[in-house]
Amino acid sequence: MGKEPSEIRKQIECTRERIGETIDAIAYKADIPSRVRKNLNGRVEKAKMVLRNAIRRKGESSFGWGSTAATHREGHNEGHKAEKE
């Protein structure tokens, strides 16, 4: 015999959901600029994280930032003193 109306409605609803998911997937695949931008942003953030971790592991003193900056300032100031004389 024929299907009950409630059964047909359930099938229609399931079909609508599948079609909606398919349309979403097609829209995602078609939006190439957005996907590229998202991928690039992810890679940039990962590179920043790797760099931060490397700096943290080495410590500022290993790079000489703490002492070098002070030495540079002192040398820079002495250069100005010599110019004035």
What average pLDDT score do residues 66-85 get? 54
| Alpha carbon separation from 28 to 19, 32, 35, 42, 63 (Å, rounded) | 14, 8, 8, 17, 44
* CA Rg value for the chain: 32
Please tell me the pTM assigned to this model: 0.43
Distance in angstroms (rounded) separating the CA atoms of residues 55 and 47: 12
pLDDT tier at 79, thresholds 50, 70, 90: low
Q: How many separate domains does the chain show? A: 1
Rounded to 5°, the CA angle 10-17-13 comes to 20
Range of the domain at 42: 5-84
What are the tens digits of pLDDT across the range 22-32? 999 999 999 99
